[in-house]
Amino acid sequence: NMENLQQTSRNLLVCDQSSLRHRKCRLSQQVQQHHFNHQVSLLLPECGSAPPPLDAALRSFSSSYLLRKLPLHELLDTHFLQDAVYQGSVYGLSYRSRIDEDTCVALLPSGQLVLSLDKDVYERLGVEGKPSRFNQRANSRYVVTVNLTDSSMAPGGRGYQRLLTGLKSRVQLQTDFLLSHHPGGGEALKALLSRYDWTEHRPQVSSRLLTNLPCPTPLTSDLPSCDPHSFLEWLGAVEAEVSCDNESTSFLSTLVCPEPRAVLSRALRVRVSGLLLPQDVYRLIEELRRCWDGRGTASWAALTVQGFADSPVSWGSREHGFLKGGENFYSLLLCSDHSYWLCMGTGAHDGCPP
């Protein structure tokens, strides 16, 4: 009804315009801070197939490992800490748990362990946390954050023992858990994997050739002539395969391609899906840049990275909530002169992207 429409939450969108050649370019840091990515979509205009180096980058994303019914106290195992957490960057996320209802867990590459818990589980755990900013009812949900690399969490110490006792004796939480490690990969996780039922998951790559695609123009060093929301709306329509023709016979969509516009005779859309590490995403961006340095290609490319809707964090360690859709994403419009436009979006109550 109209009352519900009036209560629809706004979204938060931050746009950053710069150049990869600028000495103060922040793109690398921004990409690295978006830890938990489940899909990367690349749109290449006037392309029938990706250049071989770019195709290789698309197909070389790191594997992830799905551990079934992992007791959470295993994340405090001393061998796991020594072999993985202290030796590189671990990315861990509870699988198919709902951030507004279930226990959700994230292990960040910084060594931070984030637990999003309902009030009952939080009180039984006995470890200090803070109320979630996404409580539907007063103090119904809490977030516990500990840094496993901090001296206070060294195995045998008071903080370590308190959390270990809470997870082993007081609540005994377990969950299906996605894990990936950079740069050690599965070898760094070998000891933990050997004790549980697990499967390896290679990121899935798919592509589709689009023809006669209406497109905003010009896309040059001046970037789009339309506003960011209009451009993202067009890009989202392309991703969702929704027509922007706005024909009078169509009752499905009134979306239109922003003016001025042209029609691309063809464009290649490539998707990679899985638990995708930010290092691999940035390597893809760098490879795209090298394609332009090496030979003439299309004048622009668009890359969109979608985060997990039920991740406890969005950017960095900022708390993430589902609200209406769980959105947390960024879209990069990169031009052949290395200028770019980065748009970062979250739900209205998430922390502001970097």
Q: What is the mean pLDDT of residues 172-180?
A: 96
Q: What are the helix (H) ranges across the chain?
A: 2-6, 27-32, 52-58, 78-80, 119-125, 158-165, 190-193, 228-239, 278-294
Q: What is the mean pLDDT of residues 300-313?
A: 95
* Nearest of 26, 16, 28, 39 to residue 204 by alpha carbon: 39
DSSP state letter for 9: P
Phi, psi of 5 (to 5 degrees): -65, -40
Is pLDDT of 1 > 50? no
Cα separation, 149 vs 153, in Å, equals: 7
Cα separation, 124 vs 204, in Å, equals: 40
Pairing status of strand 339-347 against strand 204-216: unpaired
* 230: confidence class by pLDDT, cuts 50, 70, 90: confident
Instruction: Give residue 264's pLDDT.
Output: 87
Angle, vertex CA 274, rays to CA 268 and CA 275, nearest 5: 130
Cα separation, 160 vs 76, in Å, equals: 8
135 or 207, higher pLDDT: 207
* Segment 9-63, tens digit of pLDDT: 667 889 898 999 998 999 999 999 999 999 999 999 988 899 999 999 999 999 9
231 or 56, higher pLDDT: 56
Token output for 206? 């798919």
Query: In degrees to the nearest 10, what's the CA dihedral of 236, 240, 242, 244?
Result: 20
Cα separation, 73 vs 81, in Å, equals: 12
Mean residue pLDDT of the chain comes to 88
DSSP state letter for 84: I
Token output for 33? 């801070």
293 or 280, higher pLDDT: 280
**Total Cβ atoms within 10 A of residue 203:** 22
Query: 16: which strand partners?
Result: 342
Please list, in sequence order, all residues whose beta carbon lies within 8 angstroms of the beta carbon of residue 311, skipping any fewer than 6 positions away: 35, 36, 93, 99, 104, 106, 320, 328
Instruction: Give residue 246's pLDDT.
Output: 60
Q: Omega of the bond prior to 354 within 30 degrees of 0, cis?
A: no
193 or 229, higher pLDDT: 193
Least confident of 9-13, 45-49, 177-181, 285-289: 9-13
Q: pTM of the prediction? A: 0.91
* Segment 78-135, tens digit of pLDDT: 999 999 999 989 999 999 999 988 999 999 999 999 999 999 999 999 999 999 988 7
Instruction: Give residue 222's pLDDT.
Output: 52
CA distances, 115 to each of 132, 143, 192 (Å): 11, 6, 20
Query: Tell me, what amino acid is at 117?
Result: L
CA distances, 198 to each of 19, 66, 96, 202, 301 (Å): 42, 5, 15, 13, 37
Instruction: Give residue 20's pLDDT.
Output: 92
Cα separation, 207 vs 226, in Å, equals: 27
CB hemisphere CA count around 337 (13 angstroms): 8
Query: Are residues 339 and 221 in contact, defined by beta-carbon separation less than 8 angstroms?
Result: yes
Angle, vertex CA 62, rays to CA 61 and CA 67, nearest 5: 135
Instruction: Give residue 170's pLDDT.
Output: 94
